[in-house]
Structure 1
Amino acid sequence: MQGLIISALIALGVIVLLGMTIRVVPQRSVYVVERLGKYRTSLEAGLHILMPFIDKVAYKHSQKEIVRDVPRQSCITKDNIEVSIDGVMYLQVVDPKSASYGVDDYVMAAQQLAQTTLRSVIGKIDLDKTFEERSEINMEVVKAVDEAAQPWGVKVLRYEVADINLPASIKDAMEKQVRAERERRAVVAESEGDRQAAINRSEGDRQAAINRSEGEKQEMINISEGEKMKQINEAEGRARQIELIAQATATGLREVATAVKEDGGEEAVSLRIAEQYVSAFEKLAKESTTLLLPSNLSDVGGTVAGLQKVLKTIDRTQP
């Protein structure tokens, strides 16, 4: 029985000894080993053999990104407005030795440094800029904290402002400002619309006046052209009428002259002349109350003879 107990103790001692000797480091992890209290090496992922009772794993670090909240804090802007801001910071251990011996708690140190840097950055800008320039604020915090964390073996990857809380009075003032700005833009937009509408109406009236003027001008030109063509046509018609009358008169005279040459023609002409002579005086007597008579009115034959001489003269002149 005593031998069994001794064997069990020996087996347990071997297991403990193996546990102190063999170390398996997980992926994306680093173990810092001290020998007799002094830094010896950093163990990467895999199987490692240590000297029992001499070597000791003092620190264990993860090389994954570490996400930590930056506690909410009060900041004063350049225009003396108090705001409450919290954020999120992303860290990564790049030097396990420095992370082990450079600072007591690198996560806490980075958080505290991010808070102080954020207060400094917010104090340099106005309240309106804190909402518009979040990316610049994040970059300033990352730059300052990363520079300070280099001796700690820590890389600050990102910092993001999570939320910005304002006092109730400031929120109410900003809402009033936003409403006033929107109303101003609405008034400006309405006035711009009225101005554009007035311009459009003016342009339309001007174009309508130009069109009316062009129409009246074309109408006057058309009327003038019409009057011109009318006068030309009337003149040509009168000329044609005169020509036709002259041709008809000439033809009539030639016919009369031909008739005079025939047997009994002169007697017929004399009779016709006498009839027209008497008829002319009869017509004058009907149309007027005053009648001037020629001195030789009783000598109708002499008058007819004179007219016959005229006809003979015309006949002799014809070819």
Structure 2
Amino acid sequence: MPTALLVLFLLVVVFVVVMLSKTVKIVPQARAAVVERFGKYKATLPAGLNILVPFMDKLRYLIDLREQVVSFPPQPVITEDNLVVSIDTVIYFQVTDPVAATYEIANYIQAIEQLTMTTLRNIVGGMDLEETLTSRDSINSGLRGVLDEATGKWGIRVNRVELKGIDPPPSIKDSMEKQMRADREKRAVILTAEGQRQAAILTAEGSKQSQILNAEGDRESQILRAQADREASILRAQGEGQAIQTVFQAIHDGQPDQSLLAYQYLQMMPKIAEGSANKVWVIPSEITKALEGLGSSIHEIAGIPKDATPRTRVDMGPTEPQLPRSSGDNELSATSKAVQDAIAAAESASQTRATPVDPAPSEGTAGEPPTA
């Protein structure tokens, strides 16, 4: 008896568990359950705990209400210029009506795939290859409009359509690569030419500025060099003038006689005979008379004064070289010159009165005037 009761109890427990499983249904969040009663649509259960009538109500489909992503394999599509390209698409859709998605279409994913293929061939067939490669947005918009309109009655909303890849034939790829390489080389050549042009312009401008600066520098250096040469010539001329005056004054101060001058003539004779081309040379008559004057001081050489004392004292001039003064010192220089001329005239007059003037020699060398 206890065994029969135990079996009965176990049967009751199993029956209760089965009844609970048939009665209580838990639907997850973002899901929708389609319930049928005797094979006919009864209701759509929301998310959460739901109670069904056991053995009468049946949970047929559990629909995912979240946005879903489906990637379709590449499909060959012929463009307007008769080129076959391979295009793969990605569809983003969402079930908005679980009842329509369950009863209006048997397999909505397969239906969306086939509709995408046909629509894509229709859109791309009116474009050439270049337009296809550069018109992804227009293709996406056209696909989305057609799919959304067709899938509306299926309780599906197409949110987005994306072209994941457009692959032209290998030969077309090679041609496109060559064209792209040629375009890049063309741009590189253009940029190189522009760079060389700019470099040539900058080089020419730099050369121009350099030549201008060099010319200005040469002009200033020539001006300074000319001024230096002018001042050097003035100083050299003043120095030579003072040297001549100094020698002339020293000769007069030394009072040379006939013997000294004759000796000077003798010293000049070796210099006259110098040189390999001097085969024949003529002795001036003044040297002969000078030789005669060495033996006797009675005779005098024509053209040489007996008394070597100068009649007039030679002004030695300033000891320092005088450069031309600026225009601002004209008045002062004129006054100083007048004073110096007055002093020189007074000294000359006093020396003339102090020294008697010798008469000119009665005899002289033919062809030479008597020396003062």
Q: Normalized against structure 2, the TM-score is what?
A: 0.60
Instruction: Kindly indicate whether residue 338 of structure 2 is the aligned counterpart of residue 243 of structure 1.
Output: yes
Residue of structure 2 in register with 1:110 after alignment: 112
What is the deviation of 1:135? 4.6
SS at match of 1:79: coil
How far apart in 2 are the matches of 1:115 and 1:41? 35
Provide Cα deviations, 1:24-46, integer angstroms capped at 9, x if missing partner. 11222110123344433321211
CA, structure 1 residues 288+245, in 2 after alignment: closer, same or farther (shift >3 Å)?
A: farther
Residue of structure 2 in register with 1:67 after alignment: 69
How far apart in 2 are the matches of 1:126 and 1:214? 68
How far apart in 2 are the matches of 1:102 and 1:288? 155
CA, structure 1 residues 140+215, in 2 after alignment: closer, same or farther (shift >3 Å)?
A: farther
- Note the 1:295-306 alignment, pairs <5 A: none
33-42 or 170-179, which deviates more: 33-42
How far apart in 2 are the matches of 1:253 and 1:202? 71
Percent identity between matched residues is: 37
How far apart in 1 are the matches of 2:96 and 2:364? 148
- Code of the residue aligned with 1:278 in structure 2: it is D
Residue of structure 2 in register with 1:212 after alignment: 214
| Contact 1:30/1:42, CA 8 A, preserved across alignment | yes
What is the deviation of 1:8? 5.1
Residue of structure 2 in register with 1:289 after alignment: 368
CA, structure 1 residues 114+231, in 2 after alignment: closer, same or farther (shift >3 Å)?
A: farther
Provide Cα deviations, 1:211-266, integer angstroms capped at 9, x if missing partner. 334445555776798879x7545996974773343242365489x5xx9xxxxxxx
Residue of structure 2 in register with 1:23 after alignment: 25
How far apart in 1 are the matches of 2:366 and 2:28? 150
What is the deviation of 1:165? 2.6
In structure 2, list runs of 5 or more residues that go unmatched.
Answer: 232-322
What is the deviation of 1:109? 1.6
CA, structure 1 residues 248+66, in 2 after alignment: closer, same or farther (shift >3 Å)?
A: same
24-33 or 138-147, which deviates more: 138-147
How far apart in 2 are the matches of 1:79 and 1:196? 44
- Code of the residue aligned with 1:290 in structure 2: it is P
What is the deviation of 1:75? 1.0
Residue of structure 2 in register with 1:88 after alignment: 90
SS at match of 1:289: coil
Aligned with residue 57 of structure 1, among 56, 59, 62: 59
Q: How many residues align?
A: 276
Query: Larger % of helix: which?
Result: 1
How far apart in 1 are the matches of 2:223 and 2:206? 25
SS at match of 2:54: coil
CA, structure 1 residues 292+115, in 2 after alignment: closer, same or farther (shift >3 Å)?
A: closer
How far apart in 2 are the matches of 1:218 and 1:147? 91
| Contact 1:94/1:154, CA 8 A, preserved across alignment | yes
| Contact 1:75/1:84, CA 8 A, preserved across alignment | yes
Instruction: Kindly indicate whether residue 278 of structure 2 is the aligned counterpart of residue 278 of structure 1.
Output: no
How far apart in 2 are the matches of 1:110 and 1:209? 79
SS at match of 1:78: coil
Residue of structure 1 in register with 2:182 after alignment: 180
